[in-house]
Amino acid sequence: MRRITRGAAALAVATATMAAIGTGWAHASDRTVFHCPGGAVCIYPRDADIHSSTPTDVFYSYGAHNLSNQFGNHYVLNNQYGGADATADLCTGYDGVDCGITIEMNYFRLVNLTPINSVVLNRP
């Protein structure tokens, strides 16, 4: 009898956990904008239309992300959330050095990425 009770309790906990995880993912997908997931900074293909293209690079974690082989004009979308400080900086140096362009939360810009070598996601 105890084994059945423990099994039922474990099943209830597992079901509640999966429901919570499922809800979290559904909430994140609700923030998808121009194929860029909520909480991310996205870079689109060179000379592509942001409305109909899918991102080639998607960054979720805070800090610097080095770029390679990105030339010409690309849209960069900051789809992070959490406050006004959730910005994305575009930097000419690797590892987030010499940043000169800041993209505010919920904004995008068309940027020549030829001189850009890293993107920094700033914590809100």
Question: What are the distances in angstroms from CA 65 to CA 4, 50, 59, 74, 86?
Answer: 50, 21, 8, 16, 15
Question: DSSP string of 30-97?
Answer: HT-BTTBPTTEEEEPPTT--TTT---SEEE-SSEEEE--S--SEEEEEEE--SSTT--EEEESSGGG-
pLDDT tens across the length of the chain (124 residues)? 444 444 444 434 333 333 333 333 334 447 899 999 999 999 999 999 999 999 999 999 999 999 999 999 999 999 999 888 999 999 999 999 999 999 999 999 999 999 999 999 999 8
The closest of 89, 102, 98, 92 to 59, measured between CA atoms, is 89
Q: Where exactly are the structural domains of the chain?
A: 1-30, 33-121
